[in-house]
Structure 1
Amino acid sequence: MSAAVSPRPGDVQLVAQAVTFGYPGRRILDRLDLTVAPGDRVGLVGENGAGKTTLLGVLAGRLHPQEGTVRRHGTLAVVEQDLAVADEDTVGTLIDATADAARAAAADLQAVIDAFDHDGGDVAALSASIARYEHLAAWDVDRRVDEGLSRLQAPRDRDRRLAELSVGERYRVRLACRLAERADLLLLDEPTNHLDEGGVAHLTAQLRAWTGGLVIVTHDRRLLDDVMTAVLDMDPSMDGRPVLYGAARYADYRFARDQMLRRWRARYRAERKRARVLAERLDASYEGLSDEWRPPKGSQKHRRGTRARQHVKAADRLIERLEAQAVDVPVPPPALHFPDLPSVPPGYPGGPLLEVRGPRVAARLDLPGRRVDVMPAGRLLVTGANGAGKSTLLAALVGGVGLDRGTRTVAPGVRWGVLAQEGPGERAPASGGPSPTAFDAYARHALDLLDAGALDPDALVPVAALGLLSEADLERPLSELSIGQRRRFDLACALLAAPHVLVLDEPTNHLSVGLVDELTAALRATSAAVVVATHDRQLRADLADWPHLDLGG
Structure 2
Amino acid sequence: MNLVNLESVSHAYGPKPLLSDVSLGVEAGERIGVVGRNGGGKTTLMSVIAGTVRPDSGRVTHNRSLRVGFLSQHDPLSPDDSVREIVLGELAEHEWAGDQQVREILSNLIGDLDLDAKVGDLSGGERRRTALAQLLIDDHDLIMLDEPTNHLDIEAIAWLAGHLSGRKSALVVVTHDRWFLDAVSTRTWEVVDGRVERYEGGYAAYVLAKAERARIAQAAEERRQNLMRKEIAWLRRGPPARTSKPKFRIEAAQALIANEPPARESVELVRFATARLGKTVYDLENVTLHAGGPDSGPLVLDRLTWQFGPGDRIGLIGVNGSGKSSVLRLLADTVTPDVGRVVRGKTVRLAHLSQELAELDPARRVLETVEEVRKYLQVGKKEWSASQLLERLGFKGEAQWKVVGDLSGGERRRLQLLRLLMDDPNVLLLDEPTNDLDIETLNELEDLLDGWPGTLILVSHDRYFLERVTDRCVALLGDGKLSLLPGGVDEYLERRAEGTAVTARVGTPTTASTTTGATAPATSGGRSASDVSGTSSGSAAVATDQAKAGLSAKEERELRKELNRLERQLDKLTDQEARLHAAMAEAASDYAKLGSLDAELREVAAQKDTIEAEWLEVADRLGD
Question: Rg bigger for which structure?
Answer: 2
**TM superposition score category, shorter chain reference:** 0.3 to 0.5
Question: More relative contact order in 1 or in 2 (CA 8 Å, sep 6+)?
Answer: 1
TM-score, with length taken from structure 1 = 0.46
TM-score, with length taken from structure 2 = 0.41
